Amino acid sequence: KGQLWTGTEMADYVVPRALQLEEIPGIVAEYVKGARLAKEAGFDGVEIHNANGYLLDQFLRSGTNTREDGYGNSLAARARLTLEVANAVISIWGSDRVGIRLSPGGVFNDMSDANPAETFGYLLRELSKLELAYAHVTRVTAQDIAHGAKDGVGPKELRKDFKGVLITAGGFDRAQAEQAIAEGWADAIAYGVPFLSNPDLPHRLQENLALNTPDESTFYASGAKGYTDYPAAK
């Protein structure tokens, strides 16, 4: 199950098929190509998207990976593609310019895992060995729980498994962000939706100013409305 924004509407995914073994090196090569193009375009680094039910997340999670070969018959095998991609992207950028995003408690795109603490703990320990710039681990939000997620495994529980910089996201207000950093289970907090509705978000957070209310009807729309018309703080 899952849906994709087509540019005009949300559409159901087609039924997927398992990749053939001989196709997998080509997938890794696509990540290398993307990393190389990002570097040529002048970016400062790249984040590997291993979250939200996309391909690497599908390989990692026991709820979607039913393979019986070297990419799915054990936890190490399910994590194999992620680690291959990470090493390949590092070969282009260097480890200090590569991050990764994980959503251990997420259920978007019909994702599930029998033991997310074990799965993501293992992966983060392996990623620690690569000395990445950071791991971006999302927390479960109230919206996630409304869609069936369990509030149990997130950055707070997985902090011990990753030895580098850990960034988290997921509906943090200013006080919650400060608390997470003070308690030591996050080194930085990332924001998504608040940046859409607050062009001056860093200033508002720094000065503890009220935030604009986002208009969700414009999130997947074209045109300027919802992108350039939110007011800055006075």
Q: Among 3.20.20.70, 3.60.70.12, 2.60.40.650, 2.40.40.20, name the CATH number for the domain at 25-190.
A: 3.20.20.70
Taking every pair of C-alpha atoms in the chain, what is the biggest distance, in angstroms? Answer: 59
57: β partners: none
Cβ burial of 14 (10 Å; 0-12, 13-18, 19+) is: exposed
Token pair in block for residue 103 = 């959503």
Q: What percent of the chain has pLDDT over 90?
A: 80
Residue 150 confidence class, pLDDT cut points 50, 70, 90: confident
Residues annotated catalytic, as ranges: 54
Q: How far apart are CA 52 and CA 54, in angstroms?
A: 6
What is the structure's pLDDT at 1? Answer: 65
Tell me what the pLDDT averaged over the chain comes to: 94
What is the structure's pLDDT at 4? Answer: 79
Q: How far apart are CA 109 and CA 164, in angstroms?
A: 29
Residues 78-89 pLDDT 10s: 999 999 999 999
pLDDT at 56 over 90: yes
H helical segments located in 3-54: 24-40
Where do the domains of the chain lie?
A: 25-190, 192-234
* pLDDT mean over 196-212: 96
